[in-house]
């Protein structure tokens, strides 16, 4: 049996906002790996409000590591815990 492609209006079809959020997370990850955490935080914050659990969870995970680098450990722990629960929801 052949699998069907998702229909454009179905819930399985990604919205344009999903692509923007994925792009923001990838940009944030690239900036973070290039040693620019301040610039990365802006891109990751933009993606953190996404409705997708995995995308916003990963953005929160990366933002948590930025906070660890600043030695803001309590906020980092809260953010990492929230990111893990978002990704597991």
pLDDT digits (tens, 9 = 90+) for 30-76: 999 999 999 999 999 888 766 668 888 899 999 999 999 999 999 99
Q: What is the DSSP string of the chain?
A: -PPPPPPTTSTTSPPHHHHHHHHHHHHHHHHHHTT-HHHHHHHHHHHHT-S-HHHHHHHHHHHHHHHHHTT-HHHHHHHHHHHHHHHT-
For residue 7, pLDDT over 60 is answered with no
Residue 78 pLDDT level (bands cut at 50, 70, 90): very high
3-12, 17-26, 76-85: which range is least confident on average?
3-12
pTM above 0.85, yes or no: no
């Amino acid at each position: 049996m052949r699998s069907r492609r998702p229909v454009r209006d179905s819930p399985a079809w990604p919205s344009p906002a999903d692509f923007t959020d994925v792009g923001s997370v990838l940009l944030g990850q690239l900036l973070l790996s290039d040693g620019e955490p301040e610039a990365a935080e802006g891109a990751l914050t933009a993606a953190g409000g996404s409705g997708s659990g995995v995308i916003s969870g990963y953005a929160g995970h990366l933002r948590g590591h930025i906070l660890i680098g600043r030695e803001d450990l309590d906020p980092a722990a809260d953010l990492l815990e929230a990111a893990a629960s978002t990704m597991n929801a």
